[in-house]
Amino acid sequence: MPAIVLIVLVLGVFYLGWRFYSRYLAERVYALDPDFTTPAHEFRDEVDFVPTNRFVLLGHHFTSVAGAAPIVGPAIAVYWGWLPALLWVVLGTIFAAGVHDFGSIVVSARNRGQNIGTLSGRVISPRASTLFLLIIFFLVTLVNAVFGVVMAILFVAHPEAVIPALVVIPIAIFIGQWAYRLGRAILVPSLIGLGLLYAAIPVGMHYPVRIDGLAALLGLEVRTTWILLIFAYTWIASRLPVWLLLQPRDYINGQQLIVALVLIFAGVAMGMDVVTAPAINGNLAADSPHWFPFLFVTIACGAISGFHSLVASGTTSKQLDRETDARTVGYLGALGEGSLALAAILACTAGLGSAAAWAEKYSDFGAASGGGLGNFVTGVGHFLGNLGIPPELGAVFASVVVITFAGTTMDTGVRLQRFILQEIGEMAGLKRLSRRVNLLTTVAVLIPLGLALVPGGEGKGFAFGRLWTLFGTTNQLTAGLALAVIAVWVMARGRNPAAALVPLVFLLAMTSWALVINLISFYREADWLLLGMDIAVFGLAIWLTAEALIALRRRGDAGADPP
């Protein structure tokens, strides 16, 4: 199968989804009102609540939710074959992620910018808020720990990427001052900043940054030292106003995504690469998990991800200038993630060379899991090589893309963790504690940092590696529960909730199935830690699902609320 054919087909279907389905959602399901006063204007404080141009906000939202997940998930899932992975990316993006991300922004904006966990208390029941916040807290902790370690691994493996990753910070701060202090347009400065970022890549290749000496001085491993530095940075970044660093860097990263996708797709076209991986892998190792249901857990970002609802309702809704901007930010952002997932699938199925080379890298599920990120970097290097760019330079370029996206996700994740702690404090009646922002930020950093640094089992390095099995199910479970909140809210206004209910039922079925399989596996392996966590997450999910069903039935009997 020529890879260019897949690109044309998928992007064509994505366009149709944007042109027709997103308009249906905007007009008939969410009924967007251009005159509605958004929280960004009602509670404007120039720190978290800041009215923002929709394209700048699109850059923030997309790069905050992207991270490494829409790359790693598909890069692993092609183990079962490229066809199931691609179908889930396409259908999941259009009919699940678009509905989920778009709806999370709208519902939050209609409720003073509250996060999806707090909203569940108002929309579903007071108990639902507590249950949802517990699940969210666990998910955000895992996200921050995972991306911190992923960044550290890439810095160790590609020290050439350190200087470009650092250069983007002062560039973004300058652009933030230019745009919000001086009131100037951001497009031209951000393009110049993007050019400076790319110019820093060959500099980084000439002057790779290694911190072996610092690590030896501290008596720590190099990766551990990087993790400490990364989390120290996120504390500072999460306390800065969103306009100073987060928004302009997100805007640059959004442009970087466009450049990366253009280069990848152009490289595919120029090299006329062929997908050498099997459409459906018929040579799975005997101990491999079955693709049904684990495909839908492995590919989260790039199809649908619960973390997106946390960003959408945690930071994005607080920056929405006009309610009608939610369509561009939410649905188009989901299509951008789907496009990145498509690029990851192609890099790992058409960019690795022959069928024999692919089979060697995907010999079993363990090899696929451990090598997914490296396979993506290698594949992108190959595609850029078709354009005359040295593969080594292309590999560093791919690493910079992943690192900068992951860094932005961590900045947003720590900020979200602080918001969640504030809301938990308010729910517990500790309003004075909830106002101690520096203390809460420190707690929001230390919890995932501790998880990232706890030793794991043999050969697993860090504890998050042992918890990764639950990460996917918890993430998709959160997406299903966010859809439940959206469905109840839509039904309460007398509109058809089917757009949210269909992906909701599917996701809850897949995640519950995966949780049950994991329960049996953890019990047989006597892994009591994961077994206990699995039981806790599964119990919370069943309880919250029951609350949502009761709310749906109650709303159906009561009729519509005022819009």
What are 530-551's pLDDT values in tens digits?
Answer: 788 788 878 877 887 788 888 8
Q: Which domain holds residue 111?
A: 3-558
Domain presence at residue 73: yes
When pLDDT is cut at 50, 70 and 90, the band that residue 316 belongs to is very high
Tell me the C-alpha distance between 400 and 419, whole Å.
29
Please give the pLDDT value at position 560: 52
Taking the chain, what is the end-to-end CA distance rounded to the nearest angstrom? 49
Confidence tier at 382 by pLDDT (50, 70, 90):
very high
**pLDDT tops 60 at residue 562:** no
Q: What predicted TM-score, i.e. pTM, was given to this entire model?
A: 0.87
Summarize the confidence of residues 2-19 as an average pLDDT: 97
C-alpha to C-alpha distances, 533 to 38, 138, 449, 523, nearest whole angstrom: 38, 10, 19, 12
Q: 226-242 burial by CB neighbour count: b if 16+ within 10 A, else e? A: bbbbbbebbbebbeeeb
Tally of domains within the chain = 1
Positive/negative CA dihedral, 97, 263, 194, 144: positive
pLDDT in tens, 253-275: 878 888 999 999 999 999 999 99
More confident residue, 268 or 556: 268
pLDDT, greater one: 406 or 213: 213
Q: How big is the CA angle at 535 (ends 531 and 537), to the nearest 5 degrees?
A: 115
Q: How many CA atoms lie within 13 A of 267 on its CB side?
A: 25
**563 is a domain residue:** no
pLDDT digits (tens, 9 = 90+) for 456-508: 544 333 344 455 667 778 888 889 889 999 999 999 899 999 999 999 999 98
Q: What value does the mean pLDDT of the chain take? A: 87
452 CB-contact burial (10 Å; exposed 0-12 / middle 13-18 / buried 19+): buried
Give the CATH number of the domain where residue 477 resides.
1.10.4160
